[in-house]
């Protein structure tokens, strides 16, 4: 019974480890595009020639993402 529980726990923790948040994925995507990234307090501003992205985290941990194409 203990071995079964330990195996289940190991699989559960291993599968969660590789998941990234939407914020992390967006930052990596913008880095790949060569974006200029500015970090200030709870705000991240990223800008490329074609796109602007703002990520803001409030005190409660809620994340707001604004993404605009430059036109």
Give the domain ranges of the chain. 18-69
54-66 pLDDT tens trace: 999 888 888 888 9
Q: Give the Å distances, CA to CA, from 70 to 38, 39, 48.
A: 18, 21, 9
CA–CA distance, 43 with 33 (Å, rounded to integer): 20
45 has a pLDDT exceeding 70: yes
Q: List the beta bridge partners of residue 14.
A: none
DSSP state letter for 10: H
CA–CA distance, 31 with 25 (Å, rounded to integer): 10
Tell me what pLDDT residue 17 has.
53
50 has a pLDDT exceeding 70: yes
Task: Give 4's pLDDT tier (boundaries 50, 70, 90).
Answer: confident
pTM of whole model > 0.85? no
DSSP state letter for 50: S
């Amino acid at each position: 019974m203990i071995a079964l529980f330990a195996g289940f726990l190991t699989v559960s923790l291993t599968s969660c480890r590789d998941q990234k948040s939407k914020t992390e994925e967006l930052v990596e995507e913008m880095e790949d595009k060569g974006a200029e990234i500015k970090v200030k307090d709870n705000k991240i501003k990223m800008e490329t020639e074609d796109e602007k992205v703002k990520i803001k985290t409030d005190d409660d941990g809620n994340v707001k993402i604004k993404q605009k194409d430059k036109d």
